[in-house]
Amino acid sequence: TAKYSVLTFLPRFLYEQIRRAANAFFLFIALLQQIPDVSPTGRYTTLVPLIIILTIAGIKEIVEDFKRHKADSAVNKKKTIVLRNGMWHTIMWKEVAVGDIVKVLNGQYLPADMVLFSSSEPQGMCYVETANLDGETNLKIRQLCCPRARPDLTERHPAQEHSVGLRRCCIHRTRHQAHADTSSDNFGYNLLTFIILYNNLIPISLLVTLEVVKYTQALFINWDTDMYYIENDTPAMARTSNLNEELGQVSDIHHSRIAPCTSDSCDFNDPRLLKNIEDQHPTAPCIQEFLTLLAVCHTVVPEKDGDEIIYQASSPDEAALVKGAKKLGFVFTGRTPYSVIIEAMGQEQTFGILNVLEFSSDRKRMSVIVRTPSGQLRLYCKGADNVIFERLSKDSKYMEETLCHLEYFATEGLRTLCVAYADLSENQYEEWLKVYQEASIILKDRAQRLEECYEIIE
- Indicate which CATH number applies to the domain containing 83: 2.70.150.10
Assess whether 404 and 293 both reside in one domain.
yes
Q: What backbone torsions phi and psi does residue 100 show, to the nearest 5 degrees? A: -70, 145
Give domain status of residue 457, yes or no.
no
Q: Is 139 part of any domain?
A: yes
Where a domain ends, among 118, 134, 165?
165
Which domain-ending residue is among 110, 136, 165? 165
121 and 62 in one domain?
Answer: no
Strand ranges of the sheet holding 101-103, from the earlier edge strand across to the other edge = 87-92, 79-84, 101-103
Same domain flag for 303 and 346: yes
64 and 18 within one domain: yes
Q: Residue 453: inside a domain, yes or no?
A: no
C-alpha span between 382 and 431 (Å, rounded): 23
**Is the domain of 90 the same as that of 46?**
no
Q: Please check whether residues 408 and 285 belong to one and the same domain.
A: yes
pLDDT of residue 157: 58
Separation of alpha carbons 93 and 162, rounded Å: 23
Residue 314, helix vs strand vs coil: coil
Say how far apart CA 403 and CA 407 lie, in whole Å: 6
For residue 284, the model assigns a pLDDT of 77
- In this structure, the number of other CB atoms found within 10 A of the CB of residue 35 comes to 14
The pLDDT of residue 344 is: 85
Extract the residue ranges of the chain whose pLDDT is less than 50: 169-184, 256-264, 271, 273
Q: What is the DSSP string of 29-50?
A: HHHHTT-TTT-SS-TTTTHHHH
Give the pairing type, strands 330-336 and 125-129: unpaired
Same domain, 35 and 85: no
Domain that holds residue 328: 272-424
How far is it, in rounded angstroms, from Cα 257 to Cα 264? Answer: 17
Give me the helices (H) in 352-425, please. 385-390, 399-411
What total of structural domains would you count in the chain? Answer: 3
Spatial neighbors of 245 by CB under 8 A, at least 6 apart, are: 214
Residues 109, 25: one domain? no
Sign of the torsion formed by the C-alpha atoms of 315, 316, 317 and 322: positive
- Does 326 reside within a domain? yes
In a domain, 258, yes or no: no
416 and 306 share one domain: yes
In a domain, residue 437? The reply is: no
- The contacts of residue 398 (CB under 8 Å, 6+ apart) are 286
Residue 447 within a domain: no
CA distance linking residue 266 with residue 318, whole number of Å = 9
Same-domain status, 236 and 361:
no
Domain's final residue, options 165, 193, 223: 165
| CB atoms closer than 10 angstroms to residue 190 | 13
Question: 368 has which bridge partners?
Answer: 356, 380
Whole-number pLDDT of residue 184: 47
Residue 294 CA to residue 288 CA, distance in Å, equals 10
Which pLDDT belongs to residue 185?
54
pLDDT of residue 427: 92
Question: For residue range 403-449, what is the model confidence (pLDDT) as tens digits?
Answer: 888 888 888 888 888 999 999 999 999 999 998 888 888 878 888 88
Please provide the size of the chain in residues.
458
> Does residue 132 sit in the same domain as residue 201?
no
pLDDT the model gives residue 382: 92
- Is 338 part of any domain? yes
- What is the three-class DSSP state of 55? helix
Q: What is the CATH number of the domain that holds 346?
A: 3.40.1110.10
Residues 406 and 283 in one domain: yes
CA distance 165 to 76: 18
**What is the pLDDT at residue 259?**
43
